[in-house]
Amino acid sequence: MKTMHFAERLYPQAKLENLLCEIRPARGVIDLSIGEPNVPLNHEILSHIPDGFEALARYPKESLQQTLLETIRDWLCKRYSLDTSSIDVQAQITVLAGSREGIFMMPIALFNRELQQGLPITVAMPDPGYPIYQASAENVGAKVCCITQAQIEQLEKLALNERDTFSEWSDIDLMFVCSPNNPTGEVLTLQQWTCLIELANKHQFILVADECYSEIYSEPFKPLGLLEACKHIGNNNFENCLAIHSLSKRSGLPGLRSGFVVGDAKLIKLIQGYRNYHGVSLSPIQLKGSEAAWADEQHVTTNRAIYQEKFDVFTKHLGECSAYQLPHGGFYIWLDVGGDSETFCQHLYQNYGVKVLPGHYLAVSDKVKSEVRQYVRVAVVCHLGEVEQVATAIKKSIAFFSHSNVVGDHVA
Ligand SMILES: Cc1ncc(COP(=O)(O)O)c(C=O)c1O
């Protein structure tokens, strides 16, 4: 069977629009289907952004990049308890126009030679997961390999020589992991990171950690990062490892389009070489704004406290619901609604104006699509004052579902 080209496949939010387009909600719409942070803008940070149009009349200066890279290095070292000397800013960090750009570019930048020679590559990814991993693989005609969180958890229980029971590992060329995970909120433990780094080194695949939600967590449970795990096991050059970070969620600045990738110098060299031609350089506006944002931790702490307050209200209302689990990190609730998720989303939208995403819209394989058919992803991005209303609406909809006879697509 011919698979659909990724660019023709509807993005999850567009699919949701189709699902809901005929419904006129009874109340004003609260859109929790998309991971767009909703935290106050930090005006102190924004004041560092050059104003006027002059900044746009020049190509970005090398010196601006240099200070941003140093600021990022300082942030990384503080966040992950690394020595400042352990990261060479020029050789081991590259700025990105948001993490999405980096993710999509990764297979083509890292395996350009192989692809030019027509050699097949395999890209592994979380399932369910952020749709750009799959698109990045399909963009280069790579074989897609799905790795579930359960498979990663199983690794911990096995000795290194037993882990090869998954035949997939030896086929993989590049593996994306996401921690904290979108959509499930799971966070990789040190042991899980260790298993993955050891497998990457054993089978010589590249491990790419998407850590764009690393700063959204319940204090004091700071998610451990890939670099920190590398250091822990003595992989001090981050061999075969890359971590991607972004200001979109950390600082609530998705419109700034700013992130970076850090790790193994030989891989960063390939990325830099590719990006020189690909040409996504950041404007002086992005560079200065990013420098100010990575240098400040106060606004991140404030943002985290805002998410915490919202989660507290959710937990108060949904806590007794057996399906509800507070995520370990990130700002999504991954919820088993006890019935068909599309029908649930329609019901929730029609009766309460609340938009959430059917979980299987984020699944890759048919197997996982059917396994998560009863799940929805709720992005906790409403205003604090709306959380109670949203949580109550979700609770009532779950109760309605559990008392109804769900027949096919219809709630009887
Ligand atoms: C898991 C994951 N990775 C990457 C991104 C892209 O973020 P950015 O704004 O940094 O491109 C998102 C956005 O929602 C995401 O959920």
| Residue 180: cis peptide before it, omega within 30 degrees of 0 | yes
pLDDT at 384: 94
Q: Which atom of ligand 1 is nearest to the CA of 35?
A: 14
pLDDT at 411: 43
pLDDT at 408: 42
pLDDT at 122: 97
Phi-psi sector, 252: left (phi>0), alpha (psi -120 to 50), beta = left
Q: What does the alpha-carbon distance between residue 263 and residue 241 come to, in Å, rounded to a whole number? A: 6
pLDDT at 64: 82
pLDDT of 193 strictly over 50: yes
pLDDT at 3: 67
Give the whole-number percent of the chain exceeding pLDDT 90. Answer: 78
Q: How many of the other CB atoms lie within 10 Å of CB of 310?
A: 21
pLDDT category at 63 given cuts 50, 70, 90 is: confident
Q: What does the alpha-carbon distance between residue 87 and residue 313 come to, in Å, rounded to a whole number? A: 40
pLDDT at 164: 67
Regarding the beta carbon of 380 and ligand 1, being less than 6 Å apart is answered no
pLDDT at 163: 74
pLDDT at 1: 47
Regarding the beta carbon of 330 and ligand 1, being less than 6 Å apart is answered no
Pair 164, 170: CB distance under 8 Å: yes
Beta bridge partners of 303: none
pLDDT at 320: 84
- pLDDT tens digits for range 310-343: 999 999 999 888 789 999 999 999 999 999 999 9
Name which residue sits closest to atom 6 of ligand 1, judged by CA.
100
- pLDDT tens digits for range 116-152: 999 999 999 999 999 999 999 999 999 999 999 998 9
Q: In a 3-state reduction of DSSP, which class is residue 379?
A: strand
Regarding the beta carbon of 259 and ligand 1, being less than 6 Å apart is answered yes
Q: What does the alpha-carbon distance between residue 157 and residue 325 come to, in Å, rounded to a whole number? A: 24
Q: How many of the other CB atoms lie within 10 Å of CB of 325?
A: 17
Q: In a 3-state reduction of DSSP, which class is residue 389?
A: helix
Reading the block at residue 383, the tokens are 């205003």
Length of the chain: 412
pLDDT of 79 strictly over 90: yes
Regarding the beta carbon of 263 and ligand 1, being less than 6 Å apart is answered no
Query: Which position has the higher pLDDT, 167 or 31?
Result: 31
Mutation probe of ligand 1 site: the residue of 34, 36, 106, 182 with most atoms within 8 A of C-beta? 182
Regarding the beta carbon of 329 and ligand 1, being less than 6 Å apart is answered no
Q: In a 3-state reduction of DSSP, which class is residue 140?
A: coil
pLDDT at 319: 85
| Helix or strand (DSSP H, E) at 249 | helix 247-250
Reading the block at residue 398, the tokens are 């779950």
Mean pLDDT on 30-52: 89
Mean pLDDT on 181-188: 97
Q: What does the alpha-carbon distance between residue 154 and residue 268 come to, in Å, rounded to a whole number? A: 31
Helices (H), 279-383: 284-295, 298-318, 341-352, 366-371
pLDDT at 209: 98
pLDDT of 412 strictly over 60: no
pLDDT at 410: 44
Mean pLDDT on 359-368: 97
pLDDT at 4: 77
| Helix or strand (DSSP H, E) at 103 | helix 99-110
Q: Which of 259, 124, 98, 117 is nearest to 178 (CA)?
A: 124
Question: 102 Cβ partners below 8 Å, 6+ apart?
Answer: 96, 244, 259, 260, 261, 271
Question: 346 Cβ partners below 8 Å, 6+ apart?
Answer: 19, 20, 23
Mean pLDDT on 51-77: 88
Regarding the beta carbon of 133 and ligand 1, being less than 6 Å apart is answered no
Mean pLDDT on 16-38: 95
Distance from the alpha carbon of residue 122 to the mean position of ligand 1, in angstroms: 22
CA dihedral 252, 313, 398, 15 (to 10 degrees): -10
Regarding the beta carbon of 100 and ligand 1, being less than 6 Å apart is answered yes
Domains, the chain, ranges and CATH? 6-40+299-401 (3.90.1150.10), 48-296 (3.40.640.10)
Mean pLDDT on 271-291: 91
Name which residue sits closest to atom 15 of ligand 1, judged by CA.
130
CA distances, 246 to each of 80, 97, 101 (Å): 15, 9, 11
Mean pLDDT on 267-281: 92
CA dihedral 134, 137, 142, 147 (to 10 degrees): -50
Pair 323, 398: CB distance under 8 Å: yes
Sign of the dihedral defined by the CA atoms of residues 84, 87, 88, 93, in that order: negative
